[in-house]
Amino acid sequence: MRIYGNYSLVLFRIHTGRTHQIRVHSRYLGCPVLGDPIYGKKDVNFPDATLMLHAKKLRIRLPEEGRFRTFKAPLPGRFKKIICELRK
């Protein structure tokens, strides 16, 4: 976890693949996901932020292959932009 003032960059390792649960539990803990239109609130510093939730790595079983495959995705530019702003 990295902390930037009142913001944190958190790594969640989930086994169910249910992003909704991440959002609900984060809100319950008092730290909703930035840009969450349902469980969050408008942020004064980032009012136009979209849901800041990203799957860096995803491991799923593809029915047609019958085996697990892993997919990776780089951090989106919108994440990098906000992190850059927070580091100032």
Q: What is the pLDDT of residues 28-59, one digit of tens each?
A: 999 899 999 999 989 999 999 999 999 889 88
Residues β-bridged to residue 53: none
Beta carbons of 23 and 38 less than 8 angstroms apart = yes
Q: Whole-model pTM?
A: 0.81
Q: Taking the domains of the chain in order of start, what are their residue ranges?
A: 2-87
Residue 81, SS3 per DSSP: helix
